[in-house]
Amino acid sequence: MNDPWGISGPDFVVLYIALLGVVLLVRLIVSGVMAGRAMRADDGRPVPPPTVYQLAFLAGGPDRAVDAAVAALVDRGQLRVNSYKQVSQAGARPSEPLEQAVYDVAQLKTTATIRAYVRRSAVMKALETGLDQQGLLVSAAAKRQSRTIGLVLQLAVLAFGLVRLVNGISLGRPVGVLVFLVLIAAVLAIVAAVRRSKTGARQPSAAGHRVLGQARSAASGPVPAGMLAGGVLLGGAAAAVALGGWSMYPDEELSAALTPPASFGGGGSSGGSSCSSGSSCSSSSSCSSGSSCGSSCGGGGCGG
């Protein structure tokens, strides 16, 4: 037999395409299995009462935690919002770590810009670590393990194709189609490597969903504002934003001013209106009613 490895070019192409498909399928299966394991079975053990910012992280990730801190500071008058939707310092520096990080950044910055700074901060990392240690977040190690397995499989298929390609070129065989398939395998390997390098947003585990559900149930029940339910202060603007986002902020005008644009991540777009008596407004002094702060195989040898 003159065919390399006893496999003709066309047969190898079919085999290689099948391998590419099988690896993609295996990656999906492994990812699903690992995701289920990463959720961590909820054994129902009690966890320490979560803070409002831990609840915000569980409900919407780092950005929601930042939003809740902004809401708390605006509500207490320690931050104010001007007519250009920029947040600036207005009162004493808070003592809570996340609130301090937000306060220090808030120097004529939009909510989107504050998010971008604080989500990378040490205090946000500490908040995430605390939730992780309590088993309230999906295991990052399990997700990384599944992506590592996918990357190894993808690199193995790429190496298999490259060896066949080099062998075919050394024997003077036409390898055009195989070159194309190897390029596809290389792109898939690069994508797998990039996915492995990115941690992505942390999601609540089964226990995290339980804690979050309990807090939402308590917040929607007959609990007076400011009362403790399940160890969480349910009253106030911070809790409303933590569990429901800016749409739940009690002041509609401030909610519109503090909500980042849906299509743009950061930047300070100016509003077209101004407050009735100056350039700033807070929860205690809102704007007037009319404004808002607001690929052909030929000759039987295409596979080398």
Q: What is the structure's pLDDT at 42?
A: 63
Look up residue 144 and give its two tokens.
Answer: 């990384």
CA 87 – CA 218 distance, rounded (Å): 31
Write the pLDDT tens digit of every residue in 40-95. 666 667 778 888 999 999 999 999 999 999 999 999 999 999 989 899 999 899 99
Residue 90 Cα to chain centre, angstroms: 31
Q: How many residues does the chain have?
A: 304
Kindly give, in sequence order, each residue whose CB lies less than 8 Å from that of residue 297, ignoring residues fewer than 6 positions away: 9, 10, 13, 177, 303
Residue 275: the pLDDT is: 36
The mean of the pLDDT values for the chain is 79
Residue 272: the pLDDT is: 35
To which H or E segment does residue 268 belong?
Answer: none
Query: Which portions of the chain are predicted below pLDDT 70?
Result: 1, 35-44, 199-200, 220-235, 263-304
Q: What is the pLDDT of residue 198?
A: 73
The residues, ordered by sequence, that sit 6+ positions from 79 with a Cβ below 8 Å of its Cβ are: 70, 73, 87, 88, 89, 90, 91, 102, 103, 106, 282
